[in-house]
A = this chain, B = another copy of it.
């Protein structure tokens, strides 16, 4: 990973953190409750977090949301999902969602490569409001 790429990942992460704080500081109960519900959704229940994160990743890919994909790829890695398993999740997303998923697949693999290259920092990132 080049220094430039490293900066971009950090910049995105800081932007997400800063804006989440701005949004939750606003006096809007529906928005706050939605963020809390989003966090609750991926907690282990009948299904474990690993399976839920894989489902969140697939949903994000077919809906073509790069930030959501990056978030769930990172969460999957933390939950112990292997690169081979991630590619199987990518393959389901690709077949369900079609070739328009390809540009997002490229960015997902690029993000995954960066995570694997600098995993120490990634693992240290505090958990928080997703997407």
Contacts and interface: CB of A to CB of B under 8 A. Distances in A.
Contacts of A60: 96, 100
State the number of copies, please.
Answer: 6
A15 B109 CA distance: 12
Contact of A87 (B31, B54, B90): B31
A100 B33 CA distance: 15
A26 B89 CA distance: 13
Contact of A102 (B29, B33, B82, B130): B130
A106 to B, nearest CB: 4
Interface in A79-97: 82-85, 87-97
Given A97-B100, A99-B130, A31 B84 contact: no
